[in-house]
């Protein structure tokens, strides 16, 4: 067990998966990425049989743990006989600019094929996929051509295919939509507002590049996973992450206060006419946290936990 995951999420995951009555076997895909590492860390105290899959076979460090990741092998997955599938495998949105669109689409659809295959295995009671607000913002991505929003389109497609596969197999499908998340296991933190601000604050100065208001809500990645796992014991659910609503100027101020109170914060003139509001309304998240007795970590605590991981790798 590491100090990189919030205690509330750990307790909820243990409540949902730690039963002596059900001996779960957990398949984690995308195990070397942000959400996959978070899932492995979250579940580590439970001692459950776990098969960690990544794009290539290798050993990874998750805090003070060393975990061997395997490549997808259909026979091995069948032999492992999972009861819980935690699907964290997907090429991220930034990869759209790095590769031809048809390759991006084919790669992600192949990953969704694996999710569907795993969900249909006998014995799987819960299949959770980590999705994205991009699938439904600014509108349902499936309502337009894939070229308009490739990442969101493919995420929504995966949501639908999971629901279909689960309906056939009897597994409970859970869609955990990450809008904006935090957490110590973030990979490539410079690509995310919170992670990059933590790095910049540590270096002494935060420069906010956005020239229009940008609003976000953050929750810890492990909390989103834990709530999804808990909901999976009840029935199908689509969960939208929530959290306190903050604009980037306030986020920068809060990051500086936690990481380096002397850090300078600067920003050019802001045009308020076209704000960026990529976030849920927060209500679904609040209801689910209340349902499960989860005291979701406040923003300052999220910054502290995220910084613990980001700065340890600096």
Tens-level pLDDT at each residue, the chain (314 residues): 457 899 999 999 999 997 766 789 999 999 999 999 999 999 999 999 999 999 999 999 997 889 999 999 999 999 999 999 999 999 999 999 899 999 999 999 999 999 999 999 999 999 999 999 999 999 999 999 999 999 999 999 999 999 999 999 999 999 999 999 999 999 999 999 999 999 999 999 999 999 999 999 999 999 999 999 999 999 999 999 999 999 999 999 999 999 999 999 999 999 999 999 999 999 999 999 999 999 999 999 999 999 999 998 76
Q: What is the pLDDT of residue 23?
A: 86
Q: At what angle do helices 34-43 and 7-17 cross, to 10 degrees?
A: 70
- Between CA 208 and CA 53 the distance in angstroms is 37
Q: What's the rounded Cα separation, in Å, for the pair 29 and 114?
A: 9
Tokens (6 digits) for 95: 């990869």
As to burial, measured by CB atoms within 10 angstroms (0-12 exposed, 13-18 middle, 19+ buried), residue 265 is: middle
Q: What are phi and psi of 236, to 5 degrees?
A: -55, 145
Query: In the chain, where are the structural domains located?
Result: 7-181+220-242+279-296
- Going by their DSSP bridges, the two strands 58-62 and 65-69 should be labelled as antiparallel
Q: Is 133 helix (H, G, I), strand (E, B) or coil?
A: helix
Q: Which among 305, 278, 310, 313 is positioned nearest to 10, based on CA atoms?
A: 305
Separation CA 228–CA 237 (nearest Å): 8
β-pairing verdict for 245-247 and 26-29: unpaired
Q: Report the predicted TM-score, pTM, of the whole model to 2 decimal places.
A: 0.97
Q: Is the dihedral of CA 182, 184, 187, 191 positive or negative?
A: positive
Contact 124, 169 (CB under 8 A): yes
pLDDT value at residue 21: 65
Tokens (6 digits) for 271: 């045009």
Please state, in angstroms and rounded to a whole number, the distance separating the CA atoms of residues 207 and 140.
33
Q: How far is CA 158 from CA 15, 67, 135, 218, in A?
A: 28, 27, 10, 23
CATH 3.40.50.720 for the 7-181+220-242+279-296 domain, yes or no: yes
DSSP state of 259: H
Strand partners, 53: 70
């Amino acid at each position: 067990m590491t100090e990189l995951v919030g205690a509330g999420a750990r307790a909820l995951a243990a409540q949902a998966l730690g039963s002596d009555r059900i001996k779960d076997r957990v398949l984690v895909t995308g195990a070397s990425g942000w959400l996959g590492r978070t899932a492995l860390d979250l579940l580590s105290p439970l001692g459950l049989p776990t098969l960690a899959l990544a794009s290539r076979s290798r050993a990874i460090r998750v805090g003070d743990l060393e975990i061997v990741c395997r490549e997808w092998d259909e026979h091995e997955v069948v032999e492992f006989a999972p009861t819980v599938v935690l699907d964290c495998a997907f090429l991220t949105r930034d990869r759209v600019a790095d590769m031809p669109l048809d390759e991006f689409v084919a790669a992600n659809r192949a990953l969704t094929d694996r999710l569907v295959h795993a969900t249909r295995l006998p014995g799987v009671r819960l299949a959770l996929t980590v999705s994205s607000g991009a699938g439904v913002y600014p509108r349902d991505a499936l309502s337009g051509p894939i070229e308009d929003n490739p990442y969101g389109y493919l995420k929504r497609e995966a949501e639908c295919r999971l629901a279909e596969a689960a309906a056939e197999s009897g597994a409970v499908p859970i869609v955990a939509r990450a809008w904006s998340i935090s957490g110590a296991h973030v990979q490539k933190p410079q690509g995310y507002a919170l992670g990059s601000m933590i790095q910049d604050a540590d270096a002494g100065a935060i420069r906010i590049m956005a020239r229009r208001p940008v609003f976000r809500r953050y929750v810890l990645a492990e909390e989103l996973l834990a709530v999804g796992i808990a909901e999976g014991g009840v029935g199908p659910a689509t969960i939208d992450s929530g959290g306190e609503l903050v604009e980037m100027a306030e986020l920068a101020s809060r990051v500086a206060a936690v990481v380096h109170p002397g850090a300078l914060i600067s920003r050019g003139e802001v045009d308020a006419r076209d704000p960026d509001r990529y976030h849920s309304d927060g209500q679904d998240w609040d209801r689910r946290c209340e349902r499960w007795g989860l005291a979701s970590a406040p923003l300052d605590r999220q910054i502290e936990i995220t910084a613990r991981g980001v700065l340890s790798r600096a």
